[in-house]
Structure 1
Amino acid sequence: MDILSLLGDGMLLALQPLNIMLIVIGVSVGLFIGAMPGLGSVNGVAILLPITFLVPPGAAIIFLAAIYYGAMYGGAISSITLGIPGASTAVATTFDGRPLALKGRASLALVTAAIASFVGGTVANVLFTLFAPLLASVALAFGPPEIFALMLLAFATFVGLGGDDIPKTVFSICFGLVLGAIGFDQISGAPRLVLFEMTGFLQGIGFLVLAIGVYGIGEMLWTIDQSRGQVETTAPKMTAKVMAADTAQAMRQGWKGMTIGSFLGFFVGILPAAGATPASLMSYGVTKMISRVPHEFGRGNVDGVAAPESANNSASTGAMLPMLTLGIPGSPTTAILLGGMVIWGLTPGPLLFVKETGFVWGLIGSFYISNVAALLINLAFIPVFIWMLRMPFTILAPMIFVLSIVGGYAATSDMFDIWMIVIFGIGAFILRRFDYPLAPAVLAIVLGPIAEPTLRQSLLLSSGDPSIFLTRPIAAPITIAAIILILLPAVKLFRR
């Protein structure tokens, strides 16, 4: 009852006129920041952080958290309508969201994304409210062996993402891992794979650069090649009846993806250094792996939209938990929020729940309000997003190209990244012509930089003994599950 009382007080605080105004503005701004390729929640929160010094600390973090929420919703918009991920957290949404849009079901994809985001956020808010101290201690128990075991489990789902052609899937994974290894070694500091001594490679291959190249330029070239430029994008007129039918279909066909994404996303989100991007990709892989129709994924499956969208919203809330309870940011965006809290004179950690009760529960209450506000605003703007699809492809293709280039440049202000976007786009097109799966490569470049240092740190802890992954109580069951999943395709092949 104490928790419900504190939550009620927090929601009343979040519903004060100033706070509710900041929530609506923050969610609306975040929605469009998330939809713009190259921006994303990290840049949006960082850009708008100075504005928050005009309001009290409690209202300031409510505003920034609302931007974070809105950006998680908004990332799906450009992924579905244009095939360009608005942020790295929405890459997995492109896999099935874009095919649905090309089939004339963009409204279904957008409604599914909105509802799944709401469900993921709601589940995460409830778990956050009920189990914050317990879950914080679980996150603290995750050392390098446990995080590597989790990454290994994610890699085990890659085979399911690549179809039945195991050699091509393995090649795609290895190619992504090589790209992820370019730049400075995180442990020794030595430069690696710096091709032709070009200094641009020293900063590594940015994930957003790869994603925009593969799913912006590459997808556009593939569409032009397949259709010879004669693309007809059908977009039905949005009415209350269409919206109701899409909502019912989204709930009926996407409940499994929403369930997996909500719980798995929150769990991955609370782990330090993980974040919403790995959570969304892992949820997509797990959902496809247990689906009765895995062959439909990548061709416009509703579960393929629901899983990553519920996961990235759930993970964004989960990432707040270690920041508030331990003072450890769970994602790049929460690292900026942590810096803001320090500037405002607040010290994150276990004592924050005791000394700043009003601040903490006001923030938690705002999560619930922001989640509802984001759903309503997102659904209200769906007709606008659908209108974009009515443009002729002769206008849409140049727009996609310009957005890809501008989005890539906005993220780093480096012309080297622009050339890499173009090269990755052409490379992705060539790989698709030879029927190589691209999703495993994209996932490998996300998880590779997390898996490699944790593997090396684990082996340093055990003096080179790999049994550390089978002797620790949390790492062992995760590692065994990953090994079983990796061996499953070989067993199926042997049975055939």
Structure 2
Amino acid sequence: MEVLGFLADGILMALEPLNLMLILIGVSVGLFIGAMPGLGSVNGVAILLPVTFLVPPGSAIIFLAAIYYGAMYGGAISSVTLGIPGASTAVATTFDGRPLALQGRASLALVTAAIASFIGGSVANVLFTLFAPVLATLALSFGPPEIFALMLLAFATFVGLGGDDIAKTVFSICFGLVLASVGYDQISGAPRLVLLDISGFLHGIGFLVLAIGVYGIGEMLWTIEQTRGEVTTTTPRMTVSGMLADTKEALARGWKGTTIGSFLGFFVGVLPAAGATPGSLMSYGVAKMVSRAPETYGRGNPDGVAAPEAANNSASTGAMLPMLTLGIPGSPTTAILLGGMVIWGLVPGPRLFTTETEFVWGLIGSFYVSNLAALIINLAFIPLFVWMLRMPFTILAPMIFVLSITGGYAATRDMHDIWLIVIFGLGAFFLRKFDYPLAPAVLAIVLGPIAEPTLRQSLLLSSGDPSIFFTRPIAGPITVIALILIFLPALKYLRRRKPAAAE
């Protein structure tokens, strides 16, 4: 009951006129920052951090957290309407959100994303409120072997993302891992795979560069090739009755993905240095694996939109937990928030809940208010986002190209990455023509930089003995489950081959 009393005080603090105004402004700004390719919550919070020195520290962290919430919602907008992930956390939303938009059902995709985000954030807020100390202790028990086992489990879900052709899926994963290893080695510091000694490769290949190239330029070229230059428009519904029907359908068809994403995303987000991106990708893969119709994923299944959107919002709240209780940022955005807290004279850690009770519970209360505000603002703007799709593709295509180039440049300010975006776009177009799955390659470049150093650190801890992944109490079960999921599709493939050979 004491927790409920603190929570009520925190919500009342968040509803104070100044804090409520900052929440509404922060969510609105974050919504459009998340929708802009190449920006995302990290850049948005970093850019607006100096503004917070004009208000008290409690109001400042509430404002930045509201931007974080809004950006998580906004990432789905460009993923659905343009096929370009607004941030790495929204790349999985593109898999089914964009096909829905091309079918004239962008409203359903955006409503599903908004509702799933709200439910995922609500579940995470409740878990955060009730189990913060316990979950913080659990997060501390995750060392390199546990993190690698978790990444291996994520790779296991990739096998189901590439269809029935396992060989092409494995090739796509390996190609993504090769791209992820370009640049300086994180442990030895030696340069690797620097093509023709071009200095631009020394900083590696960023995820956004690959994602914008594949899902921006590549998707644009594919659509132009499929339509043969014809003027194409969608016929979205923008009436109140239409949105109500979409809401009903989103709840009916997206409940399973929302449930998976809400819980899985939160627990992955709690882990230090994991963040929302692995959580959203894993949730999409798990939702597809447990679905009765996995073949509909990637073709416009609302459940494929609900799972990653619930996960990235749930994980964004989960990433706050290690920051507040342990002083360890759970994502790049929370690292910036941590820096802001230190500047304001607040020391994150276990004692923060006792020494700065009003600040902590005011922030937790703002999570609830920001989540509700983001849902209302997002639903209010959906007709505007859907209206954009009424434009002919002959107008949308140049806009997508310009946004892809400017978004890629804004993220790195390096012309080398602009050329890579164009090259990856052309490569994605031809790989798609030869029916190679692109999703596993994109996902591998996200998790590769996390999986490789944890694998090597684990083997250093065990003097090269791989049994460390099986003997530790947390890493062992996760590793076994991952291996089962990896070899299960191969066994199914061999079972199908035997009757065919007999015939």
User: TM-score, with normalisation over the residues of structure 1?
Assistant: 1.00
Confirm whether residue 438 of structure 1 aligns to residue 438 of structure 2.
Answer: yes
Q: CA deviation at 1:237?
A: 3.7
Tell me the distance in 1 between the aligned counterparts of 2:200 and 2:234: 41
Paired letter, 2:433: R
Residue 23 (structure 1) aligned with residue 34 (structure 2): no
Q: Which residue of 2 aligns with 1:291?
A: 291
Q: Are the aligned partners of 2:237 and 2:243 in contact in 1 as well (CA < 8 Å)? A: no
**Offset of residue 225 of structure 1:** 0.8
Q: Secondary structure at the match of 1:234?
A: coil
Give 1:490 shift. 1.9
Deviation at 1:36, TM superposition (A): 0.4
Letter in 2 for 1:323: M
**Are 2:458 and 1:450 equivalent residues in the alignment?**
no
Q: Distance in 1 between matches of 2:314 and 2:235?
A: 30
How far apart are 1:493 and its partner, in Å?
1.9
| Preserved CA contact (<8 Å) 1:85 1:212 | yes
* Secondary structure class of the residue paired with 2:111: helix
Residues 212-291 of structure 1 mapped to structure 2, 5 A cutoff: 212-291=212-291
Q: Which residue identity is paired with 1:431?
A: L
Secondary structure in structure 2 of the residue aligned to 1:436: coil
CA RMSD of aligned residues (A): 0.6
Q: CA contact under 8 A between 2:469 and 2:476: conserved in structure 1?
A: yes
Partner deviation per Cα, 1:240-260 (whole Å, 9 max, x = no partner): 100110000000000000000
CA distance in 2, matches of 1:275, 1:114: 20
Cα distance in structure 2, aligned partners of 1:119 and 1:212? 28
Cα deviation code 1:398-446 (max 9, x no counterpart) = 0000000000001111100100000000000010010000000001000
The answer to whether the 8 A contact 1:81-1:385 is kept is yes
* Contact 2:260 2:287 survives alignment (8 Å): yes
Structure 2: segments with no counterpart, 5+ residues: 497-503
Q: How does 1:135-154 map to 2 (within 5 A)?
A: 135-154=135-154
> Which whole-Å CA distance do the structure 2 matches of 1:233 and 1:320 have between them?
41
Partner of 1:38: 38
Give deviations 1:101-137, integer Å, cap 9, x for gaps. Answer: 0000000000000000000000000000000000000
Contact 1:235 1:387 in 2 (8 A): no
Match of 1:11 in 2: 11
Question: Structure 1 stretches of 5 or more lacking a match?
Answer: none
Alpha-carbon distance in 1 for matches of 2:296, 2:232: 22
User: Does the residue aligned with 1:187 lie in a helix, a strand or coil?
Assistant: coil
Q: Report the alpha carbon displacement of residue 229 of structure 1 after superposing the two structures with TM.
A: 1.8
Confirm or deny: 8 A CA contact 2:262 2:310 kept in the other structure: yes
* Number of residues of Structure 1 aligned to a counterpart in Structure 2: 496
1: CA distance, partners of 2:396 / 2:229: 11
Q: Hey, what's the Cα distance between the residues in 2 that align with 1:284 and 1:54?
A: 40
Q: Distance in 2 between matches of 1:184 and 1:274?
A: 21
Distance 1:256 1:444 in 2: 25
Distance 1:206 1:237 in 2: 37
8 Å Cα contact 1:106/1:235 also seen in 2: no
Report the equivalent of 1:306.
306
Rounded to whole Å, the distance in 2 between the matches of 1:412 and 1:483 is 37
1:395-406 mapped onto 2 (5 Å cutoff): 395-406=395-406
Cα drift, residue 228 of structure 1? 0.7
Deviations 1:75-95 (A, max 9, x none): 000000000111111000000
**Contact 1:10–1:365 (CA under 8 A) maintained in structure 2:** yes
Q: Does the 8 A contact of 1:117 with 1:309 survive in 2?
A: yes
Q: Which residue of 1 aligns with 2:364?
A: 364
2:417 matches 1:417: yes
Other structure's SS at 1:188 match: coil
| Distance (Å, rounded) in 2 between the aligned partners of 1:168 and 1:495 | 19
Amino acid at match of 1:396: L
Q: How does 1:172-191 map to 2 (within 5 A)?
A: 172-191=172-191
Deviation at 1:226, TM superposition (A): 1.1
Deviation at 1:231, TM superposition (A): 4.5
Q: Structure 2: how far apart are the matches of 1:350 and 1:132?
A: 10
Q: Distance in 2 between matches of 1:146 and 1:233?
A: 48
Where does residue 98 of structure 2 map in the other structure?
Answer: 98
Does residue 55 (structure 1) correspond to residue 55 (structure 2)? The answer is: yes
2:86 corresponding residue in structure 1:
86
Partner of 2:494: 494
Contact 2:107–2:237 (CA under 8 A) maintained in structure 1 = no
| Equivalent pair of 2:319/2:330 in contact (CA under 8 Å) | yes
Q: Give the aligned residue type for 2:213.
A: G
Shift of 1:232: 2.0
- Distance (whole Å) between structure 2 residues aligned to residue 426 and residue 245 of structure 1: 39
For 1:133 and 1:213, locate their aligned partners in 2 and report how far apart those are by CA, in whole Å. 42
Deviation at 1:38, TM superposition (A): 0.6
> Structure 2: how far apart are the matches of 1:329 and 1:109?
31
SS of the equivalent of 2:350 reads coil
Deviation for aligned residue 1:235:
2.9
1:112 matched residue in structure 2: 112
What secondary structure, in the 3-state scheme, does the structure 1 residue paired with 2:238 have?
Answer: coil
Q: 1-side partners of 2:494 and 2:235: how far apart? A: 46
Paired residue secondary structure (1:157):
helix
Distance 2:161 2:155 in 1: 10
Aligned to 2:331: 331
Deviant stretches of 4+, over 4 Å? none
Q: In 1, Cα distance between the equivalents of 2:39 and 2:495?
A: 48
Q: Which residue of 1 aligns with 2:501?
A: none
| In structure 2, C-alpha distance between the alignment counterparts of 1:83 and 1:493, rounded to whole Å | 32
Deviations 1:165-222 (Å, cap 9, x if unpaired)? 0000000000000000000000000000000000000000010010000000000000
Which residue is equivalent to 2:321?
A: 321
Partner of 1:374 in structure 2? 374
The 1-side partners of 2:445 and 2:108 are apart by: 30
SS in structure 1 of the partner of residue 234 of structure 2: coil
Moved more, 187-196 or 222-231: 222-231
How far residue 227 of structure 1 moved from its aligned partner, in angstroms, is 1.1
Give 2:500's aligned residue.
none
**Counterpart code for 2:15:** L
The secondary structure found in structure 1 opposite 2:145 is helix
Q: What CA deviation, in whole Å up to 9, does each residue of 1:274-310 have, x standing for no partner? A: 1011111110001001111100000000000000000
Quote the offset at 1:2 in angstroms: 0.5
Q: Which amino acid in the other structure matches residue 207 of structure 2?
A: F
Letter in 2 for 1:434: F
